[in-house]
Each structure stands twice: as C-alpha cells, then as structure tokens.
Amino acid sequence: MVNHGIFISISCYNGKKSGGHQVHILFWVLIGLWVVMDFYILIFYKNRKDKLAIERRSKYVMVILISAGMLSGPFLVEGSREAFQEPFWWLRQIGLVIILAGIIVRIIAIRQLGENFSRDVDVHQDKNLYQQGLYRFVRHPSYLGEVMIFLGVAIVYHHWLASLLAFVLPTLAFVYRIQVEEKMLLSFFPVAYADYMKKTKKLVPFIY
C-alpha cells in the first residue's frame, strides 16, 4: 500500500539516544506491524475482475500526501529528530495506544468488508452496501484506522511542525479519497447509498 517505504525511511529518527529505550522500540514494532499489515493487503487482497468502474488516481494522490506527511519531519524539520529521541512521557505513550487501536480498527474493518474490500476505488457487479459491524457507525472505518495511526504517530513525533505534517497531510489524502469513493458509490447506488449517508458519519462516529 502507500506506506511501504515509510518504515525504512523514518528509521533515521532512531538515533543513539533512543536505541536502548524500550518504549521507542515499541513504536518501531507498531510501525512494522502496520507495514506488514499493508503488505498483506497488497499481496492477498486481489482486485476483482468484474468491475463496473474503477478509479486509481486518488491512490497516487494518497501516496504523495502520506509520504510527504510522514517523511517531512525526519528529513526537513529542524529539531524533529532530537524531539523524537526524548524520553516518552504519558502523552506519547497514549500515542502508541492510538497507533495500536488504529491498526486493530483497520484490520477489523477490512475483514468485515470481506471480498467487497478493494485496494482501488471500484464498483463491481454484485457489490452490496455492507452496513454491519463497524460500518454501522462510520462509512469508512478502515480509513478511520489509518487516520488513528497518523494521529498516534504525530503524538509520538513530539515536535509541533513534524507532528502537524504527519497528521494533516495524510488525513487530507483520506478526505480526498473518501470524496472520490462516495461520488462513485452514489452514481451506482443513488438511493441506497444516499440513505446510508443519512444514517452514518464519514469517518469519525457522531462527529464527521
């Protein structure tokens, strides 16, 4: 998926000061788990052949914005590496919990959607509007999981500008992706999806 190079690239954050810190190591374990999860999706969730429509441009927009958000801090923001290497206090520990929760939410959302899940924005012949499980509360819970991960990473980065970039740019990518996806779904399911939109929020339960 979009974060395959992130684990290696942002490892420049892992300096000598943080090398022996168990909590810093836990951060890298969680990032590694996230990358493995998306590799699994890339390999085992094949796009179906019976597509009525497909859109790929938003995927590349996401790659650009997510990469920019995650990597700007390590490479471009002065002082961000030093900030990351500082000891973890309670707020940064909460960031780790949010990352783990985001991974869990994304896994559950993908498993619940089953064969209807796709790496691209598409509609196929027998696609149904799944409205059970997490999809009762938000229309895009797998994206919610990703945004939670970015929020957790932003908290762990511990630098105002690096954190802002790590959260805002990837979140904008998913907001754009949602707009593209919902436009397509409305064109194929004008009544059913419009009704679904009235009952649920896009990304954050009860809020947005």
Stretch 126-144: mean pLDDT: 88
Give strand ranges (E) for the chain: 51-55, 121-124
Query: What total number of domains does the chain contain?
Result: 1
Helix axes 90-113, 141-157, angle to 10 degrees: 160
Is residue 207 included in any domain, yes or no? Answer: no
Q: How confident is the model at residue 7 (pLDDT cuts 50, 70, 90)?
A: very low
Is residue 24 included in any domain, yes or no? Answer: yes
Position 173, amino acid: A
Judge contact between 12 and 76, C-beta under 8 A: no
Q: Is the pLDDT of residue 15 over 50?
A: no
> Would you state the pLDDT for residue 48?
52
Convert the pLDDT of each residue in 23-35 to its tens digit: 888 999 999 999 8
User: How far apart (Å, rounded) are the C-alpha atoms in residues 162 and 155?
Assistant: 10
> Would you state the pLDDT for residue 76?
81
Percent of the chain with pLDDT over 90: 49
The CATH number for 17's domain is 1.20.120.1630
Domain span at 186: 6-199
Convert the pLDDT of each residue in 102-117 to its tens digit: 999 999 999 998 877 8
